[in-house]
Structure 1
């Protein structure tokens, strides 16, 4: 019997900050219901099948991660249904020698057939406006004009959205970039170029290595003239260097080959 799982995601209407003169031009912003870490995923798996011990689920989960890492780092493409993944290299090879300071390994992801099928079965509910909320609606590398969340170290990067002006005396206020090893880099004030309610532009530190980063913008700006007592934050995953293939797509997963890795 075919799986009859139905999915739904809520969205809120927001003004398109790119076309500020057209008040009828709206975008839809997904409503986040939190972040699922490893513990949450394992708890959900146990809830699906209470007959499995949590230790067993944890072991299988860890085993899958270990096997996938070994395959990818051995040069094998991985297709687990949710995604296609493959490793590639960056940087110019000088003197036929690998130089970790100039060369790096990256992993590229594309949406898999199972996830595309889930996208087709997903109902989108529009639950009203997002006028009072803070959000990032778009990003752009000002040096390459790319809008796929890729950024260039040492060059300007722009965020567009609502109520994102960085303001307030709280120590948490500002923009941070956290790499895959949880090393946090805070953007200093001298690197800000534009700091407006609907647009923030700053320089990516030149010494940051290529890779995936979590951008976190924290502010006490409210839009009403008075600062918020408690700072609020919004996060966005960006890629210094080239965004993973398919990683910056805004579409519903269509248009991909059945096996984009060939």
Structure 2
């Protein structure tokens, strides 16, 4: 079966001088975790028992993680992963408060070949679409969804300006247990339609969070009657929670 990615045309908020400049936004097919991957593998009729599949995948993840964190550049065929250091080393000493380890992932041969054969289907144009295009941790400069508590976090997209009187309007962080934390007004330091700069709470615990922007913003003079929202996933710390991660330590 041929792989197919579907997308919607939307105005490019970066090139505001060109009104005809468009980008393609992915039409999400949903979220998939390891449990669903195990089931997909089982459906391939491998003849393997589910506990065997789970064991092999868990072993693979553990070995790959160990090799990466011992300085190897690991090529799985799908991706190449290599550890990198982030932050300035002060006085020749590693400081976990200012330094961290980041693992870079680069697509490899198998994935590149599959991408070349993937069909892209354009569904049409979405007018006044609200979307998040990219995020950036201002401390590390990384755009992979990682975030640092107590530091600025940049969000770029379209129709993001946080305005409106509805009680749901604002920026929230939902942790892996479903606990919602709403940012204070002064924690949204830059509030524009195409970009937000957020000051993340300093006491934000290590976890995986759903960052949601909810607003009644409209390009017209009138606000939307009903707020709309868009979300993205961010990770704080080295051991983000949630999902159905195996125990691979």
Pair in the same fold by TM > 0.5: yes
TM-score when normalising by structure 1:
0.69
For the structure 1 residues 128 and 157, does the alpha-carbon distance in structure 2 shift closer, same or farther, using more than 3 Å as the test?
Answer: same
Aligned pairs for 1:87-106 within 5 A: 87-94=83-90, 96-106=92-102
Give how far 1:11 is off: 0.9
**Once the two structures are superposed, what CA deviation does each residue of 1:30-58 show, in whole Å capped at 9, x if it has no partner?**
11111111111111111122632222211
Q: Distance in 2 between matches of 1:119 and 1:52?
A: 28
Pairwise CA RMSD: 3.9
- SS of residue matched to 2:72: coil
Give how far 1:110 is off: 1.0
Aligned equivalent of 1:226, options 224, 227, 235: 224
Give how far 1:100 is off: 2.5
Q: Aligned residue pairs: how many?
A: 230
- SS of residue matched to 1:166: coil
Q: Does 1:69 align with 2:88?
A: no
2:41 aligned residue = 45
Q: Distance in 1 between matches of 2:117 and 2:212?
A: 33
Q: Does 1:85 align with 2:81?
A: yes
Give how far 1:79 is off: 0.7
For the structure 1 residues 95 and 194, does the alpha-carbon distance in structure 2 shift closer, same or farther, using more than 3 Å as the test?
Answer: closer
Q: Distance in 1 between matches of 2:135 and 2:97?
A: 28
Give how far 1:219 is off: 0.9
Q: Does 1:199 align with 2:211?
A: no
Maintained 8 Å contact 1:164/1:221:
no
Q: Distance in 1 between matches of 2:152 and 2:217?
A: 29
Give how far 1:29 is off: 0.9
For the structure 1 residues 184 and 66, does the alpha-carbon distance in structure 2 shift closer, same or farther, using more than 3 Å as the test?
Answer: farther
Give how far 1:93 is off: 4.0
